[in-house]
Chains A and B, each alone.
Chain A
């Protein structure tokens, strides 16, 4: 593969340019070892398609989503305001992100604080390119393979995005099997609302185990996700069930990147 470029907005500005699209990486995409691979996969797709993009790099900061959902409105607003100042300072108009939590917060919550951007999730972004015929995939490894997609609450119920991830998977001629609870009835992975950052309250089961059992019962060999939290929770679930040899959890961006034509 030719050399991958990951320009930062600051670099571009020093050349007098503004990127068409800002790729908002998010904290998980920057620091989580597993999700960093998704960040890389998506970067490769952007490179492959010649998209004019840049990242904030070291200047990026947490959107504040986990703070807000755990009740710390002050901290959220501090984060949001400084992010908005940064984004506006660079003249950013369009943002794409691989994290549904970042997506939801910047898209729906920043406008109340004066930050107005055209925000898309990477699945919708890729679906758009697929529909335009710019993104071409070959079924390859995934052709006819049983894949189940785990809906992220923050994409699905929160923002009504159910079709983009599914359309991408279907473009691979994969055998998309649905879990019993899917789309509007999807079951949370258990990590939203700040749960990722603390132990679950006492109960008789962890949410991710319940969900993993459901995913495994479809017989799918690939569990596709589109969210860093879902990715972690489902991977942990698969490990807990000692199925990591047979079943893999992958982000849709990774699956598409592997199948680029």
Chain B
């Protein structure tokens, strides 16, 4: 038997594998352009969070219908990848349905299970396409979803549908070949979903059916590799990054803002308090807050790559609900676009704050944490917004005038309002007039 299909297979696999590995390194490098942040404590809590939120899809179930459909795709994705293992081995060894003889009757059970999942994935993808394009669920039609993001969402669903159809078509052709006793096609038993396609394929002569079977096989395996590569450029990267992203979740109470230790050091020395470890090199301290993507923590950058663009954050955001410009999803998308741009060496004197995100957007945030609560993969858009507010307040003194007035009041009157500090206890006197 000729080795040519095997050699072609190896080459066809090697090219996308190389490209995927290169892309993963690029993404990793981009994430590491962020500032340090320690998220290595409390590993048992972290594993638990990852297990519940990413693996267990806990937060998805706030919305039961999409949660169920998403679960079908998710389980389908995990399980059908087992079948891909057989594909890979067949491709390498030049065999056909390698596992069939070993698994006996169980092979039929497994194949039927895969087929049902494939059908589940197919139906879910169709429903999702309808939700996006026909029903136009509001969170998918916000301004930041125009153009590529909408295309990206649709493409992935169409690719998945095509891949599932290929599996079913391949199985149907295989069954036709089995029924015609063509050598090399193992008995798989009746496959419940694809057998509906059998009458269609049965009309063709054996040569064409064999071609159909092989064609679907190659389409599926090449499709999967292309899909994997595509995913690394798409919001669908969440299928991998959801896991590390939830592992490194913020475990602190949501209301707690990350302390700026550099400021603590300065404030302490201003107050004449002992400073434990003065910064080794003040030049390396960087700026206060974030003007550009590289001023954010690596975690915020990882989050930018993990964002699914589902818009649950934006749908819950009080500012967005009342027509303000702020959309936490857009904050995440902008951060990703910007760090990609920096990674590609196309900085061109631009910055995240100003060229992508405006002050009007960040100033509208009420720090309510509705976005962080809503995000199914524990992304924290508020952390990015806050870092930008810090940059504006401390590096630019560019906060809204009434905030600057509030700062001045706190400084001089020790209250955000213009009241005399000596009046602070007056409320107790009011009691006498009560």
Contact = CB atoms under 8 A, between A and B. Distances in A.
A40 interface: yes
Contacts of A81: 267-268, 271, 273
Interface residues of B, number: 72
B24 interface: no
A157 B323 contact: no
A10 to B, nearest CB: 11
Interface string A118-135: 000000000000000000
B347 interface: no
Given A71-B394, A154-B255, A157-B369, A30 B410 contact: no
Contacts of B421: 58, 61
A192 B406 contact: no
Nearest to B363: A201
B368 A198 contact: no
A212 to B, nearest CB: 12
Interface string B358-401: 00100111111110110000000000001011111110000110
A58 B425 CA distance: 5
Interface in A65-120: 66-75, 77-79, 81-82, 104, 107-109, 112-113
Contacts of A57: 424-425, 428
A195 B323 contact: no
B394 A30 contact: no
B281 interface: no
Contacts of B366: 153, 188, 190-193, 195, 207
A67 B390 CA distance: 10
Contacts of A191: 366
Contact of A193 (B322, B360, B365, B399): B365
Nearest to B391: A71
B324 A188 contact: no
Given A57-B424, A190-B366, A197 B255 contact: no
Interface of A: 4, 6, 8, 25, 27, 29-31, 36, 39-40, 43, 55, 57-58, 60-62, 64, 66-75, 77-79, 81-82, 104, 107-109, 112-113, 153-154, 157-160, 184-188, 190-207, 210
Interface of B: 62, 252-257, 259-260, 263-264, 266-268, 270-271, 273, 288-289, 316, 318-319, 321-326, 360, 363-370, 372-373, 386, 388-394, 399-400, 402-403, 405-407, 410-411, 414-417, 419, 421-428, 430-431, 434
The 9 closest A-B pairs by CB, nearest first: A158-B255, A193-B367, A71-B389, A71-B393, A204-B323, A203-B323, A188-B368, A108-B256, A198-B402
19 contacts: A30-B423, A43-B431, A68-B257, A73-B263, A74-B263, A74-B267, A78-B267, A81-B273, A104-B255, A109-B256, A112-B259, A153-B370, A188-B368, A188-B370, A192-B367, A193-B365, A194-B403, A201-B319, A201-B326
